Chains A and B, each alone.
Chain A
Amino acid sequence: MALAPGERFPDLDLPDHTGRARQLSELAGGDPIALFSSRGWWCPKEQRYMRELTRLQDEFEVAYARIVVLSVDPPEVQSAFRAGLGARFTFLSDHERRWLPRLELVERTDTVHDPYRPAGFTLFPDLTVHRAYNGYWYWGRATPEEIRRDMREITRSVRADWEVPED
């Protein structure tokens, strides 16, 4: 499946960390999204990166943009992980691995957990991919500065009032 810039990211239908059925487009709600696939709670690199995203949420909460994390952890595990992080964004649970093969994000080098490989996508509100990041190596992940840059670029292009209105 193509997940390159300019392609439309699939409108995932998955339970969130509370077990409630959600749709990615509904989570967007007309705002840009930073979407991250994650190996799971057990990976030290994920724990580190999720803490980074949790710090960034204070900016997202006032900037009309969303953060979504996708993993194969079951909802109750995600909920506990999220609470431990102090995160206030949504985790989507693909614990049945319905979307994992279709998104072609399987981490084939982990035969124990069969998880997502870490990747990041900054998305327009209509789920068009703006940029894609390959986080298999930690340094490949989107840095906070890159996420800020992408959110600025998307917001500038979708908000008609980016340039301050005259009246």
Chain B
Amino acid sequence: MKPFAFLVFDGERLSADPRARGRRLRMDIRCLSGEPVKGAFAHVCALARADAALRYDEPEVQQVRRDALAWWIPLLGAELVCLSTFALDASRYAGAVTVARSPDRFGEDPFARLFPGTLVETDLFAEVGPPPGPVVERYAGAPWPGGSF
């Protein structure tokens, strides 16, 4: 299985159609593969601007994944639908999306430290079991927590 799917973000809206207008971002393919959860909320911590990217290996990008494992996922509990970072290629991070049944906790989203969050109501995403940790390293080219050897 290809380790990622494309999500397109234009700054306000999301599309799973890779030909849609906006920025094409790689995300964990499992989030777009199963039965979609209707009426969910996505907190898209990314920008539509093409140059908004950080290196995955930067300490702040590693730390935000640690925070996701340590407290963000437990805080969301059963509200969590799925989450994924956005990869541009094997080395660049372009943000993350957290999808939940309620947007109530999004004000605490650690991924918003890196790129500001945009709230999008969505029917696109399937429920995916959260990453078990402690792995925060990515499989080359795959957006965390997706991919495997």
Closest CB of chain A to B57's CB: distance in Å? 10
* Size bin of chain A's contact surface: 20 to 34
Judged by a CB distance under 8 angstroms, whether A39 is at the interface is no
Task: Closest A residue to B65 by CB, please name it.
Answer: A61
Known: A18-B77, A29-B148. A67 touches B134 (CB 8 A): yes
Known: A30-B148, A86-B70. A20 touches B133 (CB 8 A): no
Known: A30-B148, A89-B132. A62 touches B66 (CB 8 A): no
Known: A18-B74, A30-B148, A88-B69. A61 touches B130 (CB 8 A): no
Contact A19 B77 (CB under 8 A): yes
Task: Closest A residue to B69 by CB, please name it.
Answer: A88
Cβ contact of B70, chosen from A29, A30, A58, A88, cutoff 8 A: A88
Contact A83 B134 (CB under 8 A): no
**Which residues from chain B contact A131 at a C-beta distance below 8 Å?**
none
The CA of A31 and the CA of B53, in the complex, are separated in Å by 29
Known: A18-B77, A19-B78, A88-B66. A64 touches B133 (CB 8 A): no
- How many residues does chain B have at the interface if contact means C-beta atoms less than 8 Å apart? 19
**Which residues from chain B contact A22 at a C-beta distance below 8 Å?**
129, 132
Cβ contact of B149, chosen from A30, A62, A79, A90, cutoff 8 A: A30
Determine which residue in A26, A27, A61 has the highest number of CB atoms from chain B within 10 A of its CB, and name it: A61
Contact B130 A20 (CB under 8 A): yes
Closest CB of chain A to B78's CB: distance in Å? 7
Task: Closest B residue to A56 by CB, please name it.
Answer: B134
Closest CB of chain A to B58's CB: distance in Å? 14
Contact A31 B74 (CB under 8 A): no
Known: A18-B77, A19-B77, A83-B71. A88 touches B133 (CB 8 A): yes
Closest CB of chain A to B25's CB: distance in Å? 22
Judged by a CB distance under 8 angstroms, whether B54 is at the interface is no
Interface string of A63-94 (1 = CB under 8 A from B): 11111100000000001001100111110000
**Which residues from chain B contact A18 at a C-beta distance below 8 Å?**
73-74, 77-78, 130
